[in-house]
Amino acid sequence: MTLQPNDIAQFYSLADIETKIAFYQDAIDNAAVSKSDQFQDMQASQKVERQSVTELKNLLGIWLKAWQIKTGKDSATAEIIVADYNPAIPRI
């Protein structure tokens, strides 16, 4: 189960969110360099496959959206300011 951005913004601190964003960015950078690493010696072998870059980008997007919500920089909201404006009245 993946948390939604609103849930993340409520449950995690801004520092936690920024740490997670950095973690996913590093994981994307590492996954882009190599899809898998293989280690072998005389006694054993080990293969490590990296996560899908697409999956990591989706997770990063969720945490970035949570960061926007937490910091109030959510691009999905708009603030509407209403003012009575009459051009016939001179401004002081």
**pLDDT tens per residue across all 92 residues of the chain:** 678 898 999 999 999 999 999 999 998 888 777 666 666 777 777 766 667 778 888 888 888 999 998 998 866 555 555 556 666 767 66
Look at the chain and report how many structural domains it folds into.
1
What's the CA gap between 83 and 26, in Å, rounded?
47
Range of the domain at 53: 5-71
Burial 5-29 (b: 16+ CB within 10 A, else e): beebbeebeeeebeebbeebeebbe
**Of 1, 7, 75, which Cα lies nearest the Cα of 63?**
7
Residue 36 lies in a domain: yes
Residue 81 lies in a domain: no
pTM for the model = 0.59
Residue 65 lies in a domain: yes
Residue 79 lies in a domain: no
Residue 27 lies in a domain: yes
Residue 55 lies in a domain: yes
Task: Specify the pLDDT at position 20.
Answer: 93
